[in-house]
Chain A
Protein backbone atom coordinates (compact mmCIF):
# COMPACT_ATOMS: atom_id res chain seq x y z
CA UNK A 1 0.00 0.00 0.00
CA UNK A 2 2.88 2.34 0.83
CA UNK A 3 4.42 1.84 -2.60
CA UNK A 4 1.14 2.04 -4.48
CA UNK A 5 0.17 5.33 -2.88
CA UNK A 6 3.71 6.60 -3.24
CA UNK A 7 3.74 5.91 -6.99
CA UNK A 8 0.26 7.28 -7.56
CA UNK A 9 1.07 10.55 -5.82
CA UNK A 10 4.56 10.75 -7.30
CA UNK A 11 3.04 10.51 -10.77
CA UNK A 12 0.46 13.18 -10.03
CA UNK A 13 2.98 15.36 -8.19
CA UNK A 14 5.53 15.26 -11.00
CA UNK A 15 3.19 16.04 -13.83
CA UNK A 16 0.90 18.72 -12.45
CA UNK A 17 2.04 22.24 -12.84
CA UNK A 18 0.30 25.09 -11.12
CA UNK A 19 -0.22 24.02 -7.53
CA UNK A 20 -2.60 21.98 -5.45
CA UNK A 21 -5.90 22.74 -7.18
CA UNK A 22 -4.56 21.48 -10.49
CA UNK A 23 -3.86 18.12 -8.81
CA UNK A 24 -7.46 17.46 -7.74
CA UNK A 25 -8.91 16.26 -11.09
CA UNK A 26 -5.92 13.94 -11.57
CA UNK A 27 -6.24 12.56 -8.04
CA UNK A 28 -9.92 11.94 -8.70
CA UNK A 29 -9.18 10.03 -11.91
CA UNK A 30 -6.59 7.84 -10.20
CA UNK A 31 -8.25 7.28 -6.84
CA UNK A 32 -11.92 7.09 -7.84
CA UNK A 33 -12.10 6.12 -11.52
CA UNK A 34 -9.14 3.81 -12.01
CA UNK A 35 -8.19 2.39 -8.59
CA UNK A 36 -11.66 2.56 -6.94
CA UNK A 37 -10.11 3.35 -3.56
CA UNK A 38 -12.89 5.82 -2.74
CA UNK A 39 -16.36 6.32 -4.19
CA UNK A 40 -17.38 9.59 -5.78
CA UNK A 41 -19.30 10.87 -2.77
CA UNK A 42 -16.52 10.18 -0.30
CA UNK A 43 -14.05 11.84 -2.65
CA UNK A 44 -16.15 15.01 -2.89
CA UNK A 45 -16.53 15.08 0.90
CA UNK A 46 -12.78 14.65 1.16
CA UNK A 47 -12.16 17.63 -1.15
CA UNK A 48 -14.53 19.80 0.86
CA UNK A 49 -12.74 18.89 4.11
CA UNK A 50 -9.25 19.21 2.61
CA UNK A 51 -10.14 22.68 1.36
CA UNK A 52 -11.78 23.75 4.60
CA UNK A 53 -8.83 22.64 6.74
CA UNK A 54 -5.73 24.85 6.87
CA UNK A 55 -2.61 23.75 5.02
CA UNK A 56 -1.82 22.74 1.47
CA UNK A 57 -4.74 21.14 -0.31
CA UNK A 58 -2.59 18.57 -2.12
CA UNK A 59 -1.02 17.49 1.17
CA UNK A 60 -4.35 17.48 3.02
CA UNK A 61 -5.92 15.23 0.38
CA UNK A 62 -2.86 12.95 0.42
CA UNK A 63 -3.21 12.52 4.18
CA UNK A 64 -6.93 11.77 3.96
CA UNK A 65 -6.64 9.29 1.11
CA UNK A 66 -3.50 7.71 2.57
CA UNK A 67 -5.27 7.17 5.89
CA UNK A 68 -8.49 5.77 4.39
CA UNK A 69 -6.60 3.32 2.24
CA UNK A 70 -3.49 2.32 4.11
CA UNK A 71 -3.34 3.85 7.60
CA UNK A 72 0.02 5.27 8.64
CA UNK A 73 1.87 3.52 5.83
CA UNK A 74 -0.59 4.99 3.38
CA UNK A 75 -0.12 8.47 4.79
CA UNK A 76 3.67 8.26 4.55
CA UNK A 77 3.54 6.96 0.99
CA UNK A 78 1.05 9.57 -0.21
CA UNK A 79 2.80 12.53 1.46
CA UNK A 80 6.24 11.48 0.22
CA UNK A 81 4.91 11.00 -3.29
CA UNK A 82 3.11 14.35 -3.29
CA UNK A 83 6.00 16.34 -1.83
CA UNK A 84 9.17 14.69 -3.18
CA UNK A 85 9.05 15.93 -6.81
CA UNK A 86 8.65 19.61 -5.90
CA UNK A 87 11.10 19.24 -3.00
CA UNK A 88 13.87 17.86 -5.23
CA UNK A 89 13.24 20.24 -8.12
CA UNK A 90 13.21 23.34 -5.91
CA UNK A 91 16.26 22.15 -3.97
CA UNK A 92 18.18 21.83 -7.24
CA UNK A 93 16.99 25.27 -8.32
CA UNK A 94 17.89 26.80 -4.94
CA UNK A 95 21.41 25.39 -5.26
CA UNK A 96 21.88 26.62 -8.83
CA UNK A 97 19.97 29.87 -8.59
CA UNK A 98 22.43 31.53 -6.22
CA UNK A 99 25.05 31.23 -8.96
CA UNK A 100 22.78 31.93 -11.92
CA UNK A 101 21.01 35.00 -10.65
CA UNK A 102 24.05 37.19 -11.20
CA UNK A 103 24.03 36.42 -14.93
CA UNK A 104 22.72 39.43 -16.91
CA UNK A 105 20.50 37.24 -19.11
CA UNK A 106 18.82 35.61 -16.09
CA UNK A 107 18.37 38.99 -14.43
CA UNK A 108 16.77 40.38 -17.63
CA UNK A 109 14.33 37.45 -17.80
CA UNK A 110 13.30 37.97 -14.18
CA UNK A 111 12.88 41.72 -14.70
CA UNK A 112 10.16 40.78 -17.17
CA UNK A 113 8.69 38.05 -14.99
CA UNK A 114 8.36 39.97 -11.69
CA UNK A 115 5.46 42.27 -12.71
CA UNK A 116 3.81 39.24 -14.36
CA UNK A 117 3.92 37.36 -11.03
CA UNK A 118 2.12 40.23 -9.29
CA UNK A 119 -0.57 40.11 -12.00
CA UNK A 120 -0.87 36.32 -11.62
CA UNK A 121 -1.51 36.74 -7.90
CA UNK A 122 -3.99 39.63 -8.28
CA UNK A 123 -5.99 38.72 -11.40
CA UNK A 124 -7.49 35.38 -10.17
CA UNK A 125 -9.23 37.45 -7.47
CA UNK A 126 -11.91 38.36 -10.04
CA UNK A 127 -12.87 34.73 -10.52
CA UNK A 128 -12.53 33.87 -6.83
CA UNK A 129 -14.67 36.82 -5.75
CA UNK A 130 -17.41 35.70 -8.16
CA UNK A 131 -17.19 32.10 -6.96
CA UNK A 132 -17.49 33.28 -3.34
CA UNK A 133 -20.67 35.21 -4.33
CA UNK A 134 -19.38 38.41 -2.82
CA UNK A 135 -21.76 41.35 -2.27
CA UNK A 136 -21.05 45.04 -1.70
CA UNK A 137 -21.43 44.46 2.04
CA UNK A 138 -19.25 41.36 2.28
CA UNK A 139 -16.66 43.09 0.06
CA UNK A 140 -15.80 45.06 3.19
CA UNK A 141 -14.23 41.92 4.71
CA UNK A 142 -11.45 41.35 2.15
CA UNK A 143 -10.90 45.11 1.75
CA UNK A 144 -10.41 45.52 5.52
CA UNK A 145 -8.18 42.44 5.66
CA UNK A 146 -6.03 43.60 2.74
CA UNK A 147 -5.61 47.12 4.09
CA UNK A 148 -4.77 45.87 7.60
CA UNK A 149 -2.03 43.62 6.23
CA UNK A 150 -0.73 45.97 3.55
CA UNK A 151 -0.79 49.33 5.34
CA UNK A 152 -0.74 48.43 9.04
CA UNK A 153 1.49 45.35 8.60
CA UNK A 154 -0.86 43.22 10.67
CA UNK A 155 0.24 39.59 10.51
CA UNK A 156 -2.28 37.59 8.37
CA UNK A 157 -2.47 35.08 11.24
CA UNK A 158 -4.30 37.68 13.36
CA UNK A 159 -6.64 38.51 10.49
CA UNK A 160 -7.58 34.82 10.16
CA UNK A 161 -8.01 34.37 13.92
CA UNK A 162 -10.16 37.53 14.08
CA UNK A 163 -12.36 36.24 11.24
CA UNK A 164 -12.92 32.91 13.01
CA UNK A 165 -13.60 34.40 16.44
CA UNK A 166 -15.92 37.17 15.21
CA UNK A 167 -17.90 34.73 13.05
CA UNK A 168 -18.28 32.23 15.90
CA UNK A 169 -19.39 35.05 18.19
CA UNK A 170 -21.96 36.41 15.73
CA UNK A 171 -23.36 32.91 15.00
CA UNK A 172 -23.57 32.18 18.75
CA UNK A 173 -25.62 35.37 19.30
CA UNK A 174 -27.86 34.59 16.30
CA UNK A 175 -28.45 31.03 17.53
CA UNK A 176 -29.36 32.24 21.03
CA UNK A 177 -31.88 34.72 19.57
CA UNK A 178 -33.53 31.89 17.64
CA UNK A 179 -34.25 29.89 20.77
Chain B
Protein backbone atom coordinates (compact mmCIF):
# COMPACT_ATOMS: atom_id res chain seq x y z
CA UNK B 1 0.00 0.00 0.00
CA UNK B 2 2.76 2.45 0.94
CA UNK B 3 4.46 1.60 -2.36
CA UNK B 4 1.35 2.61 -4.29
CA UNK B 5 1.05 5.85 -2.30
CA UNK B 6 4.71 6.66 -2.85
CA UNK B 7 4.38 5.99 -6.56
CA UNK B 8 1.30 8.21 -6.92
CA UNK B 9 2.81 11.04 -4.87
CA UNK B 10 6.07 11.18 -6.80
CA UNK B 11 4.28 10.76 -10.13
CA UNK B 12 2.20 13.81 -9.16
CA UNK B 13 5.35 15.74 -8.22
CA UNK B 14 6.92 14.92 -11.59
CA UNK B 15 3.74 15.83 -13.46
CA UNK B 16 3.19 19.23 -11.85
CA UNK B 17 6.79 20.15 -11.12
CA UNK B 18 7.14 23.20 -13.33
CA UNK B 19 10.09 25.53 -13.03
CA UNK B 20 12.94 23.31 -11.87
CA UNK B 21 14.47 22.19 -8.59
CA UNK B 22 13.55 24.91 -6.12
CA UNK B 23 9.98 25.12 -7.39
CA UNK B 24 9.50 21.38 -6.95
CA UNK B 25 10.38 21.64 -3.24
CA UNK B 26 6.98 22.89 -2.09
CA UNK B 27 5.29 19.99 -3.92
CA UNK B 28 7.59 17.44 -2.29
CA UNK B 29 7.20 19.09 1.09
CA UNK B 30 3.40 18.99 0.91
CA UNK B 31 3.35 15.31 -0.11
CA UNK B 32 5.87 14.00 2.42
CA UNK B 33 4.32 16.01 5.23
CA UNK B 34 0.76 14.93 4.50
CA UNK B 35 1.78 11.28 4.48
CA UNK B 36 4.17 11.62 7.41
CA UNK B 37 7.06 10.13 5.43
CA UNK B 38 9.51 12.70 6.70
CA UNK B 39 9.71 15.22 9.53
CA UNK B 40 10.22 18.88 8.73
CA UNK B 41 13.80 18.60 9.99
CA UNK B 42 14.59 15.59 7.83
CA UNK B 43 13.23 17.49 4.85
CA UNK B 44 15.50 20.49 5.48
CA UNK B 45 18.46 18.20 6.09
CA UNK B 46 17.96 16.39 2.80
CA UNK B 47 17.65 19.68 0.92
CA UNK B 48 20.97 20.66 2.50
CA UNK B 49 22.51 17.35 1.43
CA UNK B 50 21.10 17.89 -2.08
CA UNK B 51 22.86 21.24 -2.32
CA UNK B 52 26.27 19.68 -1.67
CA UNK B 53 25.88 16.46 -3.67
CA UNK B 54 25.65 16.13 -7.45
CA UNK B 55 22.40 15.73 -9.33
CA UNK B 56 18.93 17.27 -9.44
CA UNK B 57 17.24 18.04 -6.10
CA UNK B 58 14.09 16.20 -7.21
CA UNK B 59 15.97 12.94 -7.74
CA UNK B 60 17.81 13.33 -4.44
CA UNK B 61 14.58 13.88 -2.49
CA UNK B 62 12.78 11.03 -4.28
CA UNK B 63 15.62 8.57 -3.61
CA UNK B 64 15.88 9.61 0.03
CA UNK B 65 12.16 9.49 0.80
CA UNK B 66 11.78 6.17 -1.03
CA UNK B 67 14.40 4.61 1.20
CA UNK B 68 13.43 6.13 4.55
CA UNK B 69 9.68 5.57 4.07
CA UNK B 70 10.03 1.87 3.19
CA UNK B 71 13.45 0.94 4.58
CA UNK B 72 14.34 -0.76 1.32
CA UNK B 73 16.21 0.07 -1.89
CA UNK B 74 13.10 -0.99 -3.81
CA UNK B 75 11.30 2.07 -2.40
CA UNK B 76 14.05 4.33 -3.76
CA UNK B 77 13.88 2.77 -7.21
CA UNK B 78 10.09 3.15 -7.21
CA UNK B 79 10.03 6.84 -6.20
CA UNK B 80 12.84 7.76 -8.58
CA UNK B 81 11.08 6.00 -11.45
CA UNK B 82 7.79 7.65 -10.51
CA UNK B 83 9.22 11.18 -10.61
CA UNK B 84 10.81 10.52 -14.03
CA UNK B 85 7.81 8.80 -15.66
CA UNK B 86 5.72 11.95 -16.36
CA UNK B 87 8.80 13.59 -17.90
CA UNK B 88 9.24 10.60 -20.16
CA UNK B 89 5.64 10.70 -21.38
CA UNK B 90 5.58 14.48 -21.86
CA UNK B 91 9.04 14.83 -23.41
CA UNK B 92 8.37 11.98 -25.85
CA UNK B 93 5.18 13.72 -26.93
CA UNK B 94 7.19 16.93 -27.35
CA UNK B 95 9.81 15.07 -29.42
CA UNK B 96 7.12 13.66 -31.71
CA UNK B 97 5.53 17.09 -32.11
CA UNK B 98 8.89 18.86 -32.25
CA UNK B 99 8.55 20.40 -35.71
CA UNK B 100 4.96 21.40 -35.09
CA UNK B 101 5.84 22.81 -31.66
CA UNK B 102 9.05 24.64 -32.53
CA UNK B 103 7.12 26.73 -35.06
CA UNK B 104 4.34 27.69 -32.63
CA UNK B 105 6.16 27.58 -29.31
CA UNK B 106 7.40 31.17 -29.38
CA UNK B 107 4.40 32.75 -31.10
CA UNK B 108 1.19 30.98 -30.03
CA UNK B 109 -0.41 33.22 -27.36
CA UNK B 110 -1.74 30.20 -25.41
CA UNK B 111 1.77 28.75 -24.99
CA UNK B 112 3.52 32.06 -24.45
CA UNK B 113 1.10 33.45 -21.86
CA UNK B 114 0.71 30.18 -19.92
CA UNK B 115 4.47 29.84 -19.60
CA UNK B 116 4.80 33.50 -18.60
CA UNK B 117 2.16 33.16 -15.88
CA UNK B 118 3.63 29.87 -14.64
CA UNK B 119 6.96 31.66 -14.17
CA UNK B 120 5.23 34.08 -11.81
CA UNK B 121 3.38 31.30 -9.97
CA UNK B 122 6.61 29.36 -9.54
CA UNK B 123 8.08 32.33 -7.64
CA UNK B 124 5.17 31.96 -5.22
CA UNK B 125 5.79 28.22 -4.89
CA UNK B 126 9.41 28.82 -3.96
CA UNK B 127 8.45 31.55 -1.50
CA UNK B 128 5.93 29.16 0.08
CA UNK B 129 8.62 26.46 0.39
CA UNK B 130 10.80 28.91 2.32
CA UNK B 131 7.93 30.25 4.46
CA UNK B 132 6.83 26.74 5.45
CA UNK B 133 10.34 26.10 6.78
CA UNK B 134 10.40 29.12 9.10
CA UNK B 135 9.63 27.13 12.23
CA UNK B 136 11.18 26.82 15.70
CA UNK B 137 12.68 23.44 14.76
CA UNK B 138 14.81 25.13 12.08
CA UNK B 139 15.30 28.49 13.81
CA UNK B 140 16.21 27.42 17.30
CA UNK B 141 17.66 30.71 18.57
CA UNK B 142 18.72 34.25 17.47
CA UNK B 143 21.95 32.82 16.03
CA UNK B 144 19.82 30.94 13.45
CA UNK B 145 18.49 34.27 12.19
CA UNK B 146 22.01 35.68 11.94
CA UNK B 147 23.04 32.65 9.84
CA UNK B 148 19.91 33.11 7.71
CA UNK B 149 20.66 36.82 7.14
CA UNK B 150 24.33 36.26 6.32
CA UNK B 151 23.60 33.45 3.83
CA UNK B 152 20.79 35.47 2.20
CA UNK B 153 23.12 38.49 1.94
CA UNK B 154 25.92 36.55 0.25
CA UNK B 155 23.45 34.85 -2.12
CA UNK B 156 22.15 38.17 -3.46
CA UNK B 157 25.56 39.90 -3.25
CA UNK B 158 26.34 39.43 -6.99
CA UNK B 159 23.03 41.16 -7.75
CA UNK B 160 23.78 44.06 -5.44
CA UNK B 161 27.24 44.63 -6.91
CA UNK B 162 25.95 44.25 -10.47
CA UNK B 163 29.27 42.90 -11.69
CA UNK B 164 30.81 39.47 -11.48
CA UNK B 165 34.09 38.87 -9.80
CA UNK B 166 35.58 35.51 -9.00
CA UNK B 167 35.43 36.27 -5.28
CA UNK B 168 31.69 37.02 -5.22
CA UNK B 169 30.99 33.96 -7.38
CA UNK B 170 32.74 31.76 -4.82
CA UNK B 171 31.24 33.52 -1.79
CA UNK B 172 27.71 33.28 -3.17
CA UNK B 173 27.97 29.59 -4.12
CA UNK B 174 25.45 27.39 -2.26
CA UNK B 175 28.07 24.75 -1.43
CA UNK B 176 30.42 27.30 0.11
CA UNK B 177 27.57 28.82 2.13
CA UNK B 178 26.28 25.43 3.36
CA UNK B 179 29.74 24.34 4.42
CA UNK B 180 30.32 27.68 6.18
CA UNK B 181 26.96 27.41 7.99
CA UNK B 182 27.77 23.82 9.00
CA UNK B 183 31.13 24.92 10.37
CA UNK B 184 29.46 27.78 12.26
CA UNK B 185 26.93 25.30 13.66
CA UNK B 186 29.70 22.99 14.82
CA UNK B 187 31.62 25.81 16.53
CA UNK B 188 28.52 27.23 18.23
CA UNK B 189 26.47 24.19 19.21
CA UNK B 190 28.92 21.31 19.62
Chain A residues within 8 Å of B, Cβ to Cβ = 13-21, 23, 45, 48-60, 63-64, 67-68, 75, 79, 82-83, 85-87, 89-91, 93-95, 97-98, 101, 104-105, 107-130, 132, 134, 138, 141-146, 149-150, 153, 155-157, 159-161, 163-164, 166-168, 170-172, 174-175
Contacts and interface: CB of A to CB of B under 8 A. Distances in A.
Interface residues of B, number: 109
Nearest to A153: B30
Interface of B: 12, 14-22, 24-27, 30, 41, 44-60, 63-64, 67-68, 73, 76, 80, 83-84, 86-88, 90-92, 94-95, 98, 101-102, 105-106, 109-111, 113-134, 137-140, 144-145, 147-149, 151-152, 155-156, 159, 173-175, 177-178, 180-186, 188-190
Nearest to B58: A56
B39 to A, nearest CB: 11
Contacts of A21: 20-21
A158 B137 CA distance: 28
A3 to B, nearest CB: 20
Given A54-B86, A146-B127, A20 B20 contact: yes
Which DSSP category, helix, strand, loop or mixed, fits chain B's interface? Answer: helix
Given A75-B88, A119-B148, A124-B155, A132 B17 contact: no
A117 B44 contact: yes
A12 to B, nearest CB: 9
